[in-house]
């Protein structure tokens, strides 16, 4: 049925934009390449909601979504970062390894997501679209950062967060009504036009909320660690007082 194919069209659009982003990065159009990844994120966020609104979920769509995400949010952002910041490094193998680690960790995270039941309302590990969005927009700040080492560390940190057990909030419960589906084509056209017209400022602006989302998960775990250390120290102190008594 045509209805069942509509969500997959969003997923294929996501994949298409990921491939376009790689081509644009290869031609040294990093800003436009990053915008393609950002628009792909929009399509990735919509395909599942459209499927649920149309009651058209399928295992085929789930697998297609994961395969598309590896390209759009794993390979494309890593390649953008490599072209912008890593390809001139004297230690080429290091740059190659770091560039490869990011999509590999993204693929591992997607595989885990498909086979392991998560925590309701949360993702386990940083979602690959968020990690990819951060990486490709971070690359645009390469001139201001002017530190390949810092960018390498950032790439490795994002890679780790994807395969970590850090919990991140899921917004999947925010659904779409069938009436809203008719507005989506217009919304996508507006987003693409704005993205192509203002690629640099828009991609840098989107970097901020994505970074805050990644840091939110870290903050929650730091809070848990602080509470754990505090309680352990308090138990040790109480035990010491009891022994002295």
Residue 183 pLDDT greater than 70, yes or no: no
Report the pLDDT value the prediction gives residue 93, as an integer from 0 to 100: 84
Give the count of alpha carbons within 13 A of 4, CB side only. 7
Q: 125's torsion region: left (phi>0), alpha (psi -120 to 50) or beta?
A: left
Instruction: Count CB atoms within 10 A of the CB of residue 119.
Output: 10
Q: What is the pTM of this model?
A: 0.80
50-54, 58-62, 81-85, 96-100: which has the minimum mean pLDDT? Answer: 50-54
Quick one: how far is CA 160 from the chain centroid? 12
Specify the DSSP class assigned to residue 124: E
The two structure tokens encoding residue 143: 């001139």
Specify the DSSP class assigned to residue 126: -
Mean of pLDDT values over 130-155: 88
Report the pLDDT value the prediction gives residue 228, as an integer from 0 to 100: 46
> What residue ranges define each of the domains in the chain, with the CATH number in brackets?
2-215 (1.20.120.1760)
> What is the distance between the alpha carbons of residues 57 and 151, in angstroms, rounded to a whole number?
38
Contacts of 200 (CB under 8 A, 6+ apart): 31, 140
Inter-residue contact 200 to 140 (CB < 8 Å)? yes
């Amino acid at each position: 049925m045509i209805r069942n194919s509509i969500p997959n069209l969003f997923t294929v659009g996501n994949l298409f934009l990921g491939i376009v982003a790689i081509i644009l990065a290869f031609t040294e159009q990093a800003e436009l390449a990053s915008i393609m990844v950002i628009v792909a994120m929009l399509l990735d966020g919509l395909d599942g909601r459209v499927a649920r609104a149309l009651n058209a979920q399928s295992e085929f769509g789930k697998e297609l979504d994961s395969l598309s995400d590896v390209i759009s949010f794993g390979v494309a952002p890593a390649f953008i970062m490599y072209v912008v910041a890593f390809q001139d490094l004297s230690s080429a193998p290091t740059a190659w390894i770091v560039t490869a680690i990011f999509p590999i960790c993204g693929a591992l995270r997607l595989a885990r997501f498909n086979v392991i039941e998560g925590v309701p309302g949360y993702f386990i590990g940083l979602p690959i679209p968020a990690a990819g969005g951060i990486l490709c927009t971070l690359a645009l700040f390469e001139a201001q950062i002017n530190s390949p080492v810092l960018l390498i560390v950032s790439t490795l940190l994002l890679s780790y967060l994807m395969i970590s057990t850090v919990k991140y909030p899921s917004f999947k419960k925010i659904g779409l009504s069938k009436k809203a589906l008719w507005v989506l084509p217009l919304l996508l056209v507006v987003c693409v036009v704005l993205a192509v017209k203002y690629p640099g400022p828009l991609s840098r602006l989107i970097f901020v909320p994505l970074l805050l989302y990644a840091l939110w998960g870290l903050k929650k775990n730091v809070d848990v660690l602080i509470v754990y250390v505090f309680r352990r120290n308090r138990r040790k102190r109480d035990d010491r007082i009891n022994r002295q008594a």
